[in-house]
């Protein structure tokens, strides 16, 4: 599977989510996103206004997280977070499901909450974070089905704060669970080009990573080497 550097860049949500990050860290992260022309940045809710300002007219979207990282805030709070994020300029919303509800078998409550977030997001794309590290395959499937029924644009593996992140098996399962109109986002532990390419081969179209520069520079080096060998 051959990709150009710009093609891979447009599949990356550059992650700027660590709690210890300063405003300067956010500025540097947004500079990386603009330099490589990634799909979006994913920033903490409080950083949305700064990211919107920094990325104005760059073509890079601003996304943020809702109910992050545990998913256990009330639906009303998640809705309020979503409405505020969109009002401040976020165009992508990565929400964490209520993991406890899902594991308790209350799929209806999970679906209703996602539907409320989708409604509050309006035109913004909603990505539903399952936090697969804590789920059985049956629970992962149920969450994917609920997300699609609720109108989500993406299903996503992880927050990056659980014991494990995205795996090929989970991504293949998630891709098989949803229709082509729902995309799959991998997040958590994506720090190399080889990992990204392997995940793309099972149908993943978006990747959350803080290793954007390393991944794209690696691809650029490989392409230069390939062209040199052919010359």
pLDDT in tens, 47-99: 999 999 999 999 999 999 999 999 999 999 999 999 999 999 999 999 999 99
Considering the four listed CATH numbers 3.20.20.70, 3.60.20.30, 3.40.50.10210, 3.40.50.11540, the one that applies to the domain covering 5-230 is 3.20.20.70
Predicted pLDDT of residue 72: 97
Which residues, at least 6 apart from 219, have a Cβ–Cβ distance to it below 8 Å? 3, 5, 8, 193
Residue 6, number of CB atoms within 10 A of its CB: 11
127 close to 91: Cβ distance less than 8 angstroms: no
Q: Is 25 a catalytic residue?
A: no
**Tell me, what's the pLDDT at 231?**
60
pLDDT of residue 224: 87
| Domain layout of the chain by residue ranges | 5-230
The overall average pLDDT reported for the chain is 97
Instruction: Say whether 137 is catalytic.
Output: no
Q: How confident is the model at residue 225 (pLDDT cuts 50, 70, 90)?
A: confident
Nearest CA among 20, 12, 1 for reference residue 191:
12
Catalytic site residue 94?
A: yes
pLDDT at 227: 64
| Annotated catalytic residue within 47, 127, 156, 170 | 156
pLDDT at 228 over 90: no
Residues 5-35 have pLDDT tens digits of 999 999 999 999 999 999 999 999 999 999 9
Q: CB within 8 A of 24, min separation 6: which ones?
A: none
d(CA 25, CA 67): 22
pLDDT, position 2 = 85
Choose the catalytic residue: 47, 94, 115, 170.
94
Tokens encoding 104: 């308790």
Q: For residue range 122-156, list pLDDT tens digits in order.
A: 999 999 999 999 999 999 999 999 999 999 999 99
């Amino acid at each position: 599977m051959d990709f150009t550097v710009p093609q891979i860049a447009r599949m990356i949500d550059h992650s700027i989510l660590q709690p210890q990050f300063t405003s300067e860290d956010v500025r540097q992260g947004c500079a990386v996103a603009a330099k490589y022309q990634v799909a979006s940045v994913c920033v903490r809710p409080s950083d949305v206004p700064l990211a919107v300002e920094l990325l104005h007219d760059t073509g890079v979207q601003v996304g943020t997280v809702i109910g992050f990282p545990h998913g256990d805030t009330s639906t009303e709070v998640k809705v309020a977070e979503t409405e505020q994020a969109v009002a401040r300029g976020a165009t992508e919303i990565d929400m964490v499901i209520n993991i406890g509800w899902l594991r308790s078998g209350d799929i209806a409550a999970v679906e209703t909450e996602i539907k409320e977030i989708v409604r509050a997001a309006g035109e913004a794309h909603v990505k539903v974070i399952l936090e697969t590290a804590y789920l059985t395959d049956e629970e992962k499937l149920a969450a994917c089905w609920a997300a699609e029924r609720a109108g989500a644009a993406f299903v996503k593996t992880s927050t990056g704060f659980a014991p494990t992140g995205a795996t090929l098996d989970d991504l293949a399962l998630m891709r098989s669970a949803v229709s082509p109109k729902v995309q799959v986002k991998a997040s958590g532990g994506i720090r190399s080009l080889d990992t990204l390419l392997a995940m793309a081969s099972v149908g993943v179209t978006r990747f959350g990573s803080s290793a954007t520069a390393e991944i794209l520079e690696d691809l650029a080096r490989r392409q230069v080497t390939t062209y040199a060998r052919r010359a």
